[in-house]
Chain A
Amino acid sequence: MLEIDWFLGISAIMFSIGIIGVLIRRNAVVIFMCVELMLNAVNLTLVSFSSFHGNIDGQIFVFFALAVAAAEAVVGLAIIIAIFRNNLTVDVTEINLLRW
């Protein structure tokens, strides 16, 4: 049985990779994938805490987080399709009508 620190460590690393990806990537789809990576890192944290505390609350939280992430993914993909149809690109640096 591995210690919980390892699980927390890997999920923190995954979360950080997600944040860095959101901040430096320019493709909207990739940014969105990085957001999903962040959410899944959190799910890993929740599951490991759930097993650490020996109560089920964390796993139930993961169910809801998964379902919500799926709903969010659908809305996000739809918005990205709408962006692509209008601009013929999903590069966020070229989507800049609105500023200041």
Chain B
Amino acid sequence: MDYLGDLQAFLPGIITAVAGLAVITIEALKSGHKSAYWVTSFSLIVALFFGIQSLGTPLQEAFSGMLVHGGIAAFGNVIILLGTLFCVFLSNDYLEGIDHNYNEVYGMILFATSGMICLAGANDLISLFLGLETMSICLYVMAGLIKNEKQGAEGALKYFLLGAFSTGFLLYGAALLYGATGTTSIPGIGAAASSDLLFLAGAALLLIGFLFKVSAVPFHMWTPDVYQATPTTLTAYMATASKAATFMAMILVLSRALPSVEGLDWQAVLSVVAIITMIFGNIIALVQDNIKRMLAYSSIAHAGYALVGLSAATPEGYSAVAFYLFAYTIMNVGAFGVVAYYERNKGLDFSDVNNLAGLGFKKPMMGVMMSLFLFSLAGIPPFVGFVGKYYVFAAAINANMVPLAIVGVLASAASVYYYLRVMVYLYFREAHKETEMIDASFLYKGALVILALLTVYYGIEPILPFGGLMELITGF
């Protein structure tokens, strides 16, 4: 075996895992030492560097076929690491603000990230399961971070019970696929695919497990509760990086292990799920007063848009999903980041949209950035959210799924209402009372500014002469 080559192939994952161990050791030896945060940020920057470097290389196997690297897996790594890095930058200030800045949080983030990288490059059901669970278990811990409040513990319990329940389905699906084909390797399963009952049942259960994790309707019940109960910057991490990793794994599994077998029409299933997810997520989001719950339902709806691209089942569709996840990650981390900025101030519950009244003029920079991220989430040009949606719906139309694209466009038109509602509160309502706003650190604001710049840049990048992120993804 070529150990060094394997290690190099999985370098971002190894860096994050080693850094996680380092953070835990630091916490064990010197409790609460600040260096844990710096180790975390530095290791994530280094991992991101290596991740970007492997962009554009062809898809290759490593660890005797357990993992793949390069190609779309490399792009998945970049999305995950980008999302994680910004969440860590935001978390430091925010968690300090709510008095929950434990070093363990960074350890958990790093372990979860290495699990996500394993998941996004899974080439075997074992590594898929291992990556998914490494990620999920760390996320359960993060959801229960505010353990002394009823709400926090309740969110963690719901997340844990439903997450473990869905793990059972995923594992059973994997077991049946193994039984039907005699191998756990994803390309091996694809090669031995048949339309016997065992294989179909396995594929269906595996899909149910995945749909739970990406919170598609009707498997979404946990999402709003968990997102509301978790500290906001960690919610951002949960909503973006973990979803990106799971979708990346879905792309790898669907495109390589489940070819079109007679009787297994997962495209139709996914398109139905996509339609109900988009409609349901957007409609319930309309009536939410809590901005974190609103963003949770919006994240359900966004999972629906990504499923549109998946159900197209073409290389174009898969790369559109990958780009969409990139877009979703940067704009959603940004939106949660601004909410966290408001929420750091005690006294008022700033996750209630009514309490945001008048804050747009009070903190002009934050107001502008919030509007920008929300515009992008709503899919208004010239922001990255629009480009992502455009690619996804175009892929669906090219795959002869016009009704799906029409529902998607209508649903995203409806979503404009609740995104704009936040802006109406920010700018066109009188502030209730004078509230003192604590200013965030330079790094916090800098991270948000970079996210805003990325949102704008990748919104206009496709029409720039030197652009080409989409070309890079389609080249896998």
Contacts and interface: CB of A to CB of B under 8 A. Distances in A.
B15 interface: no
Contact of A86 (B148, B182, B184): B148
Contacts of A6: none
Interface string A1-31: 0000000100000010011001000001001
A68 B133 CA distance: 7
B161 A38 contact: no
A35 B168 contact: yes
A34 B229 CA distance: 25
A41 B172 CA distance: 8
Interface residues of B, number: 42
Contacts, number: 125
Given A35-B165, A98-B229, A79 B157 contact: yes
With most chain B CB atoms within 10 A of its CB, the pick from A22, A52, A86 is A86
Contacts of B178: 46, 49, 57-58, 61
A76 B147 contact: no
Contacts of A61: 125-126, 129, 174-175, 178, 184
Contact of B225 (A79, A87, A98): A98
Interface string A59-100: 011001100100110011011101101110000100111111
Given A55-B182, A75-B160, A38 B154 contact: no
B180 to A, nearest CB: 9
Contact of A79 (B133, B151, B160, B179): B160
Contacts of B149: 86
Interface residues of A, number: 45
A38 B228 CA distance: 29
A53 B177 CA distance: 12
A82 B147 contact: yes
Nearest to A87: B150
A18 B166 CA distance: 12
A73 to B, nearest CB: 9
A56 to B, nearest CB: 10
Given A75-B137, A79-B160, A68 B129 contact: yes
B264 to A, nearest CB: 20
B130 interface: yes
B407 interface: no
Interface in A29-53: 31-32, 35, 38-39, 41-42, 45-46, 49, 52-53
A42 B140 contact: no
Interface string B199-238: 0000000000000000000000000110011000000000
B155 A98 contact: yes
A39 B160 contact: no
A39 B455 CA distance: 42
With most chain A CB atoms within 10 A of its CB, the pick from B160, B174, B183 is B160
Contact of B172 (A42, A55, A57): A42
Contact of B184 (A15, A18, A57): A57
B416 interface: no
A61 to B, nearest CB: 5
Contacts of B175: 42, 45-46, 49, 58, 61
B164 interface: yes
Interface of B: 125-126, 129-130, 133, 137, 140-141, 144, 147-151, 153-158, 160-161, 164-165, 167-168, 171-172, 174-176, 178-179, 182-184, 224-225, 228-229, 284, 293
